Amino acid sequence: MPEKDLKQLIQDTRTYYDSIGRVYSKILNSYVYFTAEGKRHLLYKGNRKKRNVKEQRYKMNLFPLVIPVLKNATKIQDWRFPDGQPDEDVQYYAVVCEAGKQRVPVRVIVMRTGDGQINYHSVMKHENNKRPKSKKPRK
């Protein structure tokens, strides 16, 4: 199956994203809202720099799995504060669930804001076996 043209993939993902609005997540016991910030994060990094084409395609190809993960996740994998500092206004949660035809473990990051609303933030494959980065230079 040929890959979609990047412009078409972006347009299709934006159209789908805009149609969602909100999704109820049992594990979070709350609705997750799909805001402009979450949509922007598919194309841009947190520092507002544009993602490279490979990253954009990666995020947008995983995006259709976000709703099944939010609806079917059975535990919160992780939660943290920005920069590791407790902040009453923002907390991040990661929910993980296998999704898609190939049952790929997918991690969805959501953000709880100060008013208690939970917003979609990001999506990525979940990898349990991450190796620590070596501090030795490679030869």
- Its pTM stands at 0.80
Report yes or no on 68 lying in a domain.
yes
Report yes or no on 25 lying in a domain.
yes
Report yes or no on 31 lying in a domain.
yes
Whole-number percent of the chain with pLDDT over 70: 83
Residue with tokens 């923002």: 90
Amino acid at 69: V
pLDDT of residue 98: 86
CA-CA distance, 58 to 28, in Å (whole number)? 25
Report yes or no on 19 lying in a domain.
yes
In terms of residue numbers, what domain contains 100? 6-125
Report yes or no on 37 lying in a domain.
yes
- In this predicted structure, the answer to whether residue 131 has a pLDDT above a threshold of 50 is no
pLDDT of residue 85: 64
pLDDT of residue 86: 65
pLDDT in tens, 33-67: 999 999 999 999 877 899 999 999 999 999 999 99
Find the mean pLDDT for residues 102-112.
90
DSSP state of 89: S
Report yes or no on 76 lying in a domain.
yes
CA-CA distance, 139 to 137, in Å (whole number)? 6
CA-CA distance, 16 to 123, in Å (whole number)? 15
The residues, any chain, with a CB within 8 Å of residue 17's CB and separated by 6 or more, are: 34, 38, 39, 42, 63
What is the domain count for the chain?
Answer: 1
Report yes or no on 137 lying in a domain.
no
pLDDT in tens, 29-41: 999 999 999 999 9
Kind and range of the H or E element at 56? Answer: helix 53-62
52 beta partners:
none
Report yes or no on 134 lying in a domain.
no
